[in-house]
Amino acid sequence: MARSQFYCPMHGKSIDEILQIFEAAMCENDYSKKLVKNEEIYCKGDGVLALMQCFSLVFRENAVVIEAWVNDAVLGESELKGFSGIFIKKKMRALAEKLSLLFSSSHLKEWTCPECCRENSPYSLSCACGYQKELS
Ligand SMILES: [Zn+2]
């Protein structure tokens, strides 16, 4: 069992707030909640024809750890490294990095999409028009 881990300080955010951000991002990216071996995770793909892509959160004192991994029916869990499934892994890594920026950010605000001028929730990473929020 090997998972990639991304450690993020919460900077005073509550667990509820972190979960809201996480759920919004998972939903935007078509991940759905599943209970696998008594662990609540978000995943997509079936693990047979396509690699199953999984995320979960582990809370520590004042910090949250994002766990990300792919699951293959034959090989089991593997972290986001190596050449097999490299495009999927790169995408997941980018999503984990965005999440960790959101989790660590001390002031999240509503933002206006530069493409369509829609107001977006502080927790969303992309606009309904497809625009991806820039994070720095
Ligand atoms: Zn937009």
Domain ranges within the chain, ordered by starting residue: 4-107
Question: What is the whole-number distance in angstroms between the Cα of residue 25 and the centre of ligand 1?
Answer: 16
The continuous run of DSSP H or E covering 92 comes out as helix 86-104
Give distance in angstroms: CA of 118 to centre of ligand 1: 6
In the chain, pLDDT over 90 holds for what percent of residues? 59
Residue 123 CA to ligand 1 center (angstroms) comes to 15
Confidence check: pLDDT of 121 > 70: yes
The most confident of the ranges 44-53, 69-78, 102-111 is 69-78
**Angle (CA) 58 22 117, round 5°:** 160
As residues whose CB is below 5 A from the ion ligand 1, the structure lists 113, 115-116, 118, 127, 129, 131
Mean pLDDT of the chain: 89
Q: Evaluate the CA torsion angle 84, 86, 90, 95 in order and state its sign.
A: negative
What does the pLDDT read at residue 56?
97
9 phi and psi angles, rounded to 5 deg:
-65, 145
Average pLDDT over residues 69-78: 88
Architecture of the structural domain at 4-107: 2-Layer Sandwich (3.30)
Q: CA-CA distance, 71 to 76, in Å (whole number)?
A: 5
**Cα angle at 69 between 96 and 16, to 5 degrees?**
50
pLDDT of residue 31: 96
pLDDT in tens, 25-73: 999 899 999 998 899 999 998 767 778 999 999 999 889 999 999 998 8
CA of 122 to the centre of ligand 1 (A): 14
pLDDT of residue 108: 79
pLDDT value for 136: 63
pLDDT of 46: 73
Query: Could you say which DSSP state residue 131 is in?
Result: P
Angle at 132 between CA 128 and CA 135, to 5 degrees: 135
Contact between 80 and 92 (Cβ < 8 Å): yes
